[in-house]
Amino acid sequence: MTAAPVFDLAGRVALVTGASSGIGMRYGRILAAAGAKVVLAARNGDRLEALRKEIVAAGGEAITVSLEVTDEASTIAAYDAAEAAFGTVDTIVANAGMNAQGPTTELSVADFDETVAVNLRGVFLTAREGAKRMLAAGSRDRQNGRIVITASMAAIAVEPGLAVYSGTKAGVVQMGKVMARDWVRHGINVNMICPGYIRTGINDAWFDSPGGVKQIERFPRRRLMEESDLDVALLWLCSDASRAVTGTAVMVDDGQSL
């Protein structure tokens, strides 16, 4: 009888971008709790340090690195610091992202450029640099490379006022699939998680407003998701249990897109 899969990440080195808030912060906690050595990456050093202390106090291992995901030199430096502390990063969670919300006719070119830079170029640089190092470290023999990209329900569903954001998230889904094909024979799996709407500090005010309440009422289950709803998908895609899964976009949206 085959044993049930276990999401044990002991021995893994995981880098999480956008780890200073929201689901990125949650990802850092969950990966550490599962046994991974975690590299917490973001621009906000104060929040990262508080999370690092929390993880260490709970018995985990973590470091913080300053990372501007749109900048190649910053990305390389972050991986250098990760390797110096823990060795080669074999688990990458490309989570950093941003949103420029509003009527398409009112979005500025500056907002467009920044959103595309963070959501598309940032994922590209994070995944590419990590893959280079995995390949050099022998991922083809180890078959343990894992790249997980945070996309969005908006990559597939039509969400008014999110033209640029939706375009970038659809872009990272397709980009992730191509990366999966590029590295499929080199022991690196690339997958995407497409979350629905989750209450975070960034959107609290909106979902407490009349417009936000109406939006929630339109969802089939008339509720928002919790950050913890993504835990199983993340652990599965980062663990050996997902050895046969690559190039897949996993929708975790509580049916909000139905």
Nearest-Å Rg of the Cα atoms of the chain is: 18
Query: Of 171, 176, 152, nearest to 252 (Cα)?
Result: 152
Given 27, 79, 165, 197, the catalytic residue: 165
CA distances in angstroms from 84 to 59, 78, 79, listed in the order given:
21, 10, 9
Query: What values do phi and psi take at 257, rounded to 5?
Result: -90, -5
DSSP state of 19: T
Q: Which amino acid is at 3?
A: A
On the CB side of 242, CA atoms within 13 Å amount to 28
Q: Is 165 a catalytic residue?
A: yes
Kind plus residue range of the DSSP H or E element containing 165: helix 163-182
Residues taking part in catalysis? 165
